[in-house]
Amino acid sequence: MLIRYLMAAVFLLLYTFSSPPSRPALAEAFPAYKNATAQEIFREKDKWVEKQLSEMTLSDKIGQMLIAHSPAKFRSTDDSYYKKLSLLVSQGKVGGIMFLKGNTNDAAVLANRFQFIAPRPLLISADMEKGLAMRLDGATEFAPSMALSATGRPDLVFKMAGVIAQEAKALGIYHSYGPSVDLNTNPLNPVINTRSYGDNIPLTIEMSNAFIDGLQSNGIIATAKHFPGHGDVTVDSHINLPVLNADKKRLERVELKPFIAAIDHGIMSIMIGHLAIPAYTGSMTPATLSWRIVTKLLRKELGFDGLIITDALNMKALYQSYTLEDISLRAVEAGNDLLLFSPDPERTHTTLLNAVRRGKLSEKQINKSVRRILLAKRWLGLDKNRLVNLNSIHGQMNLKSHRELAENIADNAITVIRDKHQALPVRQENKNNILHIVLENKRYSLSGESFSDKLYRAFQAKTIRLDHNSSARDYLDAADKAKRASTIIVSTYVEVLSGTKSLAVSKGQEEFISTLVRDLPSKRSCIMISFGTPYLINQFPDIPAFICTYSSSELSEDSAVRLLQGKIKPTGKLPISLTENRR
């Protein structure tokens, strides 16, 4: 094993300073599948795939179904998790890697490293809903899906997905966990929200199909999630098991429509959500572990022939009623091809191996899943070349053209939801004494600091911050300063984060702003900017002006400043109903 590791290190060093073999075009790698839909791809028989399958042991086959997680940051060769994962990869006990937080350079090196020691090509993946920058420093950061819908520009979505594909492939990442086609019909949804394209079915379909095309036409597998629809829940599945109160008719009328459209459009992968649908299944079994959802509904009734992958198996929604062994077995029994992010992939592998040997799982079912996985890897050309040229990374990542596209999207997305007194842009006579109030709903956060600097440079605005630690005295001081200001700009950073229980500011912050608006002289402007969820306006029905950027990125902040200055006109259209929308 040591010799193999040393060989890998030497090879990767040589590979860094040499040109790799040219990557075959998809048409050359898999000529029968050029421009094919997922349904056609996964119904084909391929000689390379069948040869691999015939040579695999049962342990190898089960390994192909497991996607392990790895930080995209190299710590050291002595790091215990790195050593354990490297061993599992070299033994063929995992068939893919999902990258977590890290940076682009380390991700590429690790991808090459893992690919070189793996007996068969790995399917390397990442969550890329709004670009690789979600996980990797050094990549281009884009706006979330709801902002894309606000632009009304599927052409921008297609271009964005193309950039994501370019940057991902440069690092050896070929499987994207996006788009999220959940219809966010519940304003109280704490986990989907701006990750959704909205609650408008035709618009969601148009935008998500553009995203699918941008990825898959550039050789990246797209994944529609979170089946059968995670938009009308009020619980974050990272914390607890959400419940979707929908029967079959409701699912067909609402939640399933974007998934059906994605299947018809040729989507290659669908992710199952961790949520219960008792009105349809008759139980509180999570969809991920439900044969009725995964096989009966998705595979048989909707006719999906592509890859079915679980949501991350480390999430707390699953562990109230099940052990990891239960989850691993039930996920495969339900019909999932790929098991994502088991907290202990070796235990999951052992569980499934024993289940087949004891007759609880059939090897025939395992073979079906592995065949699909191998067909996907073949379509990607990983059978020909699984390594990337480390020298080419800099010329592919976060290019000026990529940043300009991201800026264009941010400018087109910014939405003026309300402007009762025509306060936008800020009038010349109101620019002299601007007060900026940051409402912070997170602890130990630096949200708003960069925007405060930008407002100071643009308007010499003064900033105060109100957060969990603010005292009654702080609120009185803020109210006193607000009385003397010509314009008040309130910025909020309430956005979707894993483990968030609600998307709102505190009751004290809400009452303060409501009182401030009520007592404000008619000639004074009060403008609220949400650098996150648009539903926040529901907490402030009396706010006279409300802007939403859908994102807290630097680019979104820049767009907001340009809007306040009158340098851009707001063209974004709200892609959701601000109240509950269940149709």
DSSP 265-295: TT--EEEEPS-B-HHHHSS--BGGG-HIIII
pLDDT of 10 over the 70 cut = no
Distance from the Cα of residue 122 to its chain's centroid:
21
Please list the residues that pair with 272 across neighbouring strands.
227, 310
Decide: helix, strand or coil at residue 32: helix
Specify the pLDDT at position 583.
52
The residues spanned by each domain of the chain are: 2-392, 415-565
Measured between alpha carbons, how far is 166 from 269 in angstroms, rounded to an integer? 19
For residue 7, pLDDT over 70 is answered with no
User: Which tokens go with 499?
Assistant: 């483990």
Please determine, for residue 473, whether its predicted confidence score (pLDDT) is greater than 90.
Answer: yes
What is the predicted pLDDT for the residue at 502?
A: 65
Q: Which CATH architecture has domain 2-392?
A: Alpha-Beta Barrel (3.20)
Nearest CA to 498 out of 341, 290, 285 is that of: 341
Spell out a b/e string for 441-453, using b for 16 or more CB atoms within 10 Å of the CB, else e.
beeeeebbeebbe
Mean predicted confidence (pLDDT) in 325-338: 98
pLDDT at 43: 87
- Range in 28-42, 288-302, 483-497, 511-525 the model is least confident about: 28-42
Higher per-residue confidence, 16 vs 401: 401
CB 268 within 8 A of CB 221: yes
Predicted confidence (pLDDT) at residue 21 exceeds the cutoff of 70: no
Is residue 435 within 8 Å of 461, Cβ to Cβ?
Answer: yes
Global pTM value: 0.93
Mean pLDDT computed over 345-349: 98
pLDDT of 255-279, one tens digit each? 999 999 999 999 999 999 999 999 9
Q: What is the fold, at CATH topology level, of the domain defined by 415-565?
A: Rossmann fold (3.40.50)
Q: What's the CA gap between 126 and 124, in Å, rounded?
A: 7
Residue 97, CA distances (Å) to 126, 321, 334 in order: 8, 27, 22
Give bridge partners of residue 488 from the DSSP assignment: 435, 526
- Which secondary structure element, helix H or strand E, spans residue 121, and what is its range? none
DSSP track, 171-183: TT--EE---B---
CA 277 to chain centre: 23
CB 561 within 8 A of CB 458: yes
pLDDT band of residue 19 (cuts 50, 70, 90) is: very low
Residue 37 confidence (pLDDT) above 80 = no
452: which residues sit within 8 A by CB, 6+ positions away? 436, 438, 461, 463
For every residue of 364-400, DSSP letters joined together read: HHHHHHHHHHHHHHHHTTTTT-----GGGSTTTSS-H
